[in-house]
Structure 1
Amino acid sequence: MSTSTSLSNSTSNATVCSTPECTTLANAILADLDLNVDPCSDFYQYTCGGWLANATIPDDEVIIGSQKTALDINQEVMRSILEGTYDDLYKDLIGSDEGFHREDQKDADKKNFETMQKYYNVCMNTAEIDVLGPTPIYQDIAKFENVLFPVSNDVQVFSNQTVPLFTQALSRLNGLSIKALSNLFISADEKNPEVNIIYFDQVKTGLPSKEYYEVPETLAAYKSGLTDILTKTLGNYSNGTENATLRDTESQRYNFTRWSDEKIAASVDRFIDFEAKLANISMKAEELRDPTVTYNPVKLSDFQANNSYVDWTSLIESLLPSGEQVPDNNITIRATPYFERLNALLFSGNVTERTLQDYCIISFVTNVAFALDSSTQEAARNMKSAVSGGTKAAKPRWKTCTDAVSEGISNSMGRYFVLKRFGGEAEKKKVETFLTNIHETWIDHLNQIDWLDNQTRAKAVEKVKAIEHMVAYSTVSPDLRQPNSIKKYNEGIYINETSYYDTEYLLNTWNTKKQWAKAGKAVDRNEWLFSAQTVNAYYNPSTNQIVMLAGMLNDPMYNTTHPDYLNYGGIGMVVAHEIAHAFDSIGSKYDGKGLLTNWWTNVTAAQFQEKTKCFIDQYSKFTVAGPNNSTLNVNGALTLAENLADNGGGKLALTAYKRLNKQEQKLPGLENMSPEALYYVNLGRSWCTKLTDGANQLSIYIDTHSPANIRVNGILQNSPEFAATFNCPAGSPMNPETKCSMW
């Protein structure tokens, strides 16, 4: 199909930009497009077909795409920071470091950098890690077997007498942020969002979702993988004489008897059987998406009476700061049916103490395998690849260690990343102006929606006006501009420069303590849920805030030198999407103060529910390719909130762009495309993605977002504006007669 017939004609008299930068940008867009595809047939293929034809997934990845490219670029920037010197930090900044105080806080700045670099270096010291083999784990396994949860035989069933020892084992796991049997965490009380409380949720099992436990081939691969991991960590496996000698020495030192092949086989069987039972009693992912269902406050004493398989007071006491009293109130259960079924399962007489000991130990091993030798790491990677479409090869070590630092000491890295990649205060102000326009567009738009009655509309406008912007990087808790603020936040972090395993152990303990110190305290509205360098954005319903992270503000979604029609189709859609979350199937249940409450009239609420059914039905009909030539349907209920946000975001970002009422230059080679057409083109190419079939299956089961191609086409199939822009005939694939509409 020729360009002249497949692209929209522009009616503007704008000039064509002839700079080298515009030519490069236009060529990049044209390279992504497939002009042989009718945009009215499959717009995602039209915008990404060229890119897809040339994209190859590396063996150490399961997904590539626009977002992954941004992540890779960010990762390279962080690597250069970690492998450079302190003096290198402030060379070749992308913008000014004005406002990022340093000279008067240089000692703290150096300390923060040195701690971060020590962590990276101990992670990169693979020679020392491999010499030790799996021996660093022996002390912990011996403690589980001999002190925390000793078991005398394989047939003794779980009973009330087991509870104290089982609680000890679970306390150790939770102290390292390893979730076992249940997921305990601290978050804002949804009925009193100014205070943090304790939430109890169902546990995430070793396989990604309950569906995986229903596939015999997957269970066989899981069994084989776990057997390999345990053989290489707890068994008699050895890479050489030196390693074998060290294993013998360390086993004797900690009174740890290495597991025989028979013991490993029996333990793996018990573990998988028990996990399958946990998966069976778990609620489905879509059932946990309704906050009115998952908010169930209880007194701890009442919960204990009905869930006596753990001493909950003792467990929580081990997690709270020393001396703090365990609250009887301020406990909320997210998955009530799960806990009811779990109590029945454990006291059924069919669960042995040995099974629970195996469960604790294997949960521990699989969660710390990444910190052991390369043989153990490869066994863990192979297992993940076999059961859920993981990578075919290990990532380069520098990527693993860069990610570890970025996640483990996130604020230190965030400061330097912002200066090297984002641009600091001046750039932040530009983004805030961008956000303000989209925010104001939403306010105007709510006043024009005919299905909202006046009472609900007033509440909706009140809520959207109250939304706070948090842009690029944290400036309070901590203030990334202030080294002293970061140093104070990081207080208690210790890097053992001779042991990566011990360093990870200490960091996990530090992080757990940091999180549990918030229990019962006032919510810090200035604390970010993700670090500045993360390629993401989010809306928090309990604080009514949208957060745009510096790591996300990259090509092709955002570049201050690009025309606004591209930026609004990229990051503008994301901003409008995040605001739309305030009114999706989840966010709509919270008011402007973050309180979980019903602020809708009955008539309007009924119309909202009717509109959501259209989206559930629409998206449930979309399919993707799965493993072994299978076809998988999107879960329209699981992805509902994100689909509503996508549709609202795609619509409102274009409205916000038009609100600018400015004439911009055309791009060379794309002269016949209107600004609206290029808005949609950049919306599409911002989500160009290629996944393995295994990763596709995983996303269908656990991801609350629809697959990338469906995100794009789903938005545009519902858009009369898109159909008009590209002159799509009525009834064509991208202009169906039935359209879903919410915002």
Structure 2
Amino acid sequence: MDDVSRDLLHAILEAPYAENATFAGAARAVDKENFAKMQTAYKTCLDEDRIRAAGVEPLRKILAEFDAVFPLEKPKDAGADELTQTHIWLMRNGVGGFVSAEPEADDKSPDENVIFVGGGDVGLPSKEYYDKKAVVANYTRTMAQMATIIKTGVPITNETITKPVDQALLDEAAKIVELEARIARASPDRDTVGKVTYYYNPSTPEAIEKLVPEIHLRTYLAANLPANYTVKRVILSDPWYFGNLSSILTSTPRPVLHAYFRSRLVSSWAGRLHKDFRYPAKAFGNALAGRNPDAEAERWRTCLSEVDGTLGWLLSAAYVERAFSPEAKELGDRIVRDIKNIFSERLKGFDWMSDAVKTAAAKKVVNIIQKVGYPTASPNVMDPEDLRKWYAKLEVGESYFENGRAYGNFGREKAWADFLKPVDRNRWGMTAPTVNAYYSPSGNEIVFPAGIMQLPVFGVDLPEYVSYGAFGSVAGHELTHGFDNDGSHYDETGKYAEWWDNTTLANFDARTQCFVDQYSKFTIPGLDGEPLHINGRLTLGENIADAGGLTASYSAWKKRDAAKADLLIPGLEKWSKEQLFFVSYANWWCGKVRPAQAVNYVYTDAHSPADKRILGTMANSKGFREAFNCPTKQPTCELW
């Protein structure tokens, strides 16, 4: 599905502006202007000869700017806020460092924005990797090799990558990695850090400055805000880390801090160098993912992804115009409505919930906002003038490296400008071509971009058990996130509030423990050859959503089928419609992952491996057990 969308968008970006476009007159002129901006970004990214000719100089320029802000030797006139000013500069150049801040909807006041304060920028995917000697050795050597390339301007290739590295650079890299390990270990495990009950800690800049006096948070925040604005309240998103941060800063020598900041800049910006000047980093990334060291995506794919990530609403307009029909949107909306209705009906039968909680839960379902296809506001992707205004402050030029800086500044400035306004409930978090979907707890909304509504999992001409089995189960999955172990902390307005009574909550916890135990028994081969268990607590929310989503979608389809019988697919008459519903669901997750990448996912991803999502969810589906006449009809775990 990704490839189908990408092939279409690739063809659009490679061709001249389509003169037979939907728009006419002034709207067409603006649409043509938008297309030109998007195509310039794409073609500048494609121009590898020009990128190679620039060599490492663009990155050297950034590093020289940094050295002026935070020199290796502390200047005699350095002020007490030197580390604060350094972080301000790093933030403006795409690096978080030890502290970061970003505005988001306030979980307890979801129509207002608040600043979340976090930090701790490291290079390995998760803290577990810092305990793996072979990975750490490879990472350390890679860091030293990238420093060598920046210093000499000479590429390191597949033929020269095994040559000895300057010992001083290796020693420096080892100290950086040791510091990163301290940062990584100063935060809790992934199954804790992403939960609202952990990360939502209202505080003040002054209180955080007492925890970390080395960084003046009020000055750091003021760098993004009007001069007359005072931040009085923030959310401290990682209290354990901030409790350890001051000791990390005071015990780390300045040369190590300097080297660490430079390494994070190299990590952030090396991707905009020509491949000849980033081979060690590419080879290391490929090793972590279990790929061949030389593996690299076709350049057009990289550039298409860049356009999607930076000018995504312009790309969305081109996609929707050519690949998404009103009929598809109507079917998508109807499937989502059916699932909302069936979920509300099922709530009435749960004897483990009190009547008051059932009533509140039903109200939350009714209030869930469904967004299907593409945004029609903030911005309206079908309005060229609205899109032009949206990207008016983004200048796209002929330098691939400088475009990267422009994209970063544009995104940061837009986010902080939004901080001073009410939360925009019309905003989408995914572009239209995206093959994915999401639930937003603070928005109490489920969002389905056009990209996920296509063959073979969705279509107006398909038997409905195919669309309900695949897309419908995804829709049910996202809705169920509103009632998983994290989403259940938010009420019908999107507010973080405890609206469950103690008895219902105890019953909920008992049922969710079943999922934790079930998925924790699944294993994959670890990097050391020993079985690596799935983290049933990290994946709990997704596993709950898989089970609840499938059950809701199956019930919704059965109701549709009873009203108007679905047809069997010719040639598959030996399968029942019920069986084909579940086959459609399983096909959605059909895939293969390299063993090393699978390990990465177990450490970092809140989703279970795809095959376990099939096996676990089928075991938790009474409908599946009945359709395939399993000896035991009761699901292993059941919640929604």
| Offset from partner CA, 1:355-405 (integer Å, 9 cap, x none) | 111111110111111111221233321121234535641111111111111
Aligned equivalent of 2:516, options 616, 620, 623: 616
CA drift of 1:194 comes to 0.7
**What SS is found at the alignment partner of 1:234?**
helix
After TM superposition, the structure 1 stretch with the greater mean CA deviation from structure 2, 452-461 or 164-173, is 164-173
| Offset from partner CA, 1:395-418 (integer Å, 9 cap, x none) | 111111111111110100010011
Whole-angstrom CA distance in 2 between matches of 1:473 and 1:378: 38
CA drift of 1:318 comes to 1.9
1:592 aligns with 2:492: yes
Runs of 4+ in 1 over 6 A off after TM superposition: 159-162
What is aligned with 2:243?
Answer: 340
Q: Report if the CA contact (8 A) 1:208-1:388 is conserved.
A: no
CA drift of 1:292 comes to 2.1
Q: 1:176 to 1:427 in 2, by over 3 A?
A: farther
**What SS is found at the alignment partner of 1:304?**
helix
| Offset from partner CA, 1:256-311 (integer Å, 9 cap, x none) | xxxx9455323312211110110111111111233122211111112112211212
Q: Report if the CA contact (8 A) 2:146-2:280 is conserved.
A: yes
Whole-angstrom CA distance in 2 between matches of 1:506 and 1:263: 35
Q: In the TM superposition, what are the counterparts of 1:258-657 in structure 2 within 5 Å?
A: 261-320=166-225, 322-323=226-227, 325-329=229-233, 331-347=234-250, 350-390=251-291, 392=293, 393-423=295-325, 425-497=326-398, 499-657=399-557
Q: Report if the CA contact (8 A) 2:59-2:270 is conserved.
A: no
CA drift of 1:230 comes to 1.7
Whole-angstrom CA distance in 1 between matches of 2:612 and 2:548: 15
Q: Which amino acid aligns with 2:18?
A: D
Q: Report if the CA contact (8 A) 1:174-1:319 is conserved.
A: no
Whole-angstrom CA distance in 2 between matches of 1:183 and 1:689: 36
Whole-angstrom CA distance in 1 between matches of 2:394 and 2:272: 17
**What SS is found at the alignment partner of 1:87?**
coil
Whole-angstrom CA distance in 2 between matches of 1:693 and 1:150: 43
How large is the RMSD of aligned CA atoms in angstroms? 2.1
Q: 1:89 to 1:607 in 2, by over 3 A?
A: farther
Q: Which amino acid aligns with 1:344?
A: S
1:131 aligns with 2:48: no
Q: Report if the CA contact (8 A) 2:117-2:235 is conserved.
A: yes
Aligned equivalent of 1:190, options 78, 85, 107: 107
What is aligned with 1:678?
Answer: 580
Whole-angstrom CA distance in 1 between matches of 2:404 and 2:202: 34
Whole-angstrom CA distance in 2 between matches of 1:718 and 1:454: 25
Q: Which amino acid aligns with 1:606?
A: A
Structure 1 alignment gaps of length 5 or more: 1-69, 91-96, 241-259
Whole-angstrom CA distance in 1 between matches of 2:442 and 2:607: 21
CA drift of 1:567 comes to 0.6
Q: Which amino acid aligns with 2:180?
A: E
What is aligned with 1:172?
Answer: 89
Q: 1:79 to 1:697 in 2, by over 3 A?
A: same
Whole-angstrom CA distance in 2 between matches of 1:336 and 1:161: 29
After TM superposition, the structure 1 stretch with the greater mean CA deviation from structure 2, 302-311 or 486-495, is 302-311
Q: Which amino acid aligns with 1:221?
A: N
CA drift of 1:89 comes to 7.1
1:105 aligns with 2:24: no
**What SS is found at the alignment partner of 2:517?**
helix
Q: 1:480 to 1:324 in 2, by over 3 A?
A: farther
CA drift of 1:628 comes to 5.0
Q: Which amino acid aligns with 2:503?
A: V
Whole-angstrom CA distance in 2 between matches of 1:340 and 1:160: 30
Structure 2 alignment gaps of length 5 or more: 158-164
Q: 1:178 to 1:326 in 2, by over 3 A?
A: farther
Whole-angstrom CA distance in 2 between matches of 1:619 and 1:324: 52
Whole-angstrom CA distance in 2 between matches of 1:636 and 1:723: 23
Whole-angstrom CA distance in 2 between matches of 1:130 and 1:695: 30
Question: Percent of counterpart pairs with the same letter?
Answer: 30
Q: Which amino acid aligns with 1:587?
A: G
> How many matched pairs?
630
**What SS is found at the alignment partner of 1:555?**
coil
After TM superposition, the structure 1 stretch with the greater mean CA deviation from structure 2, 402-411 or 311-320, is 311-320
Whole-angstrom CA distance in 1 between matches of 2:274 and 2:454: 35
Q: Which amino acid aligns with 1:395?
A: A
CA drift of 1:326 comes to 3.8
TM-score, length of structure 2 as denominator length:
0.95
**What SS is found at the alignment partner of 2:378?**
coil
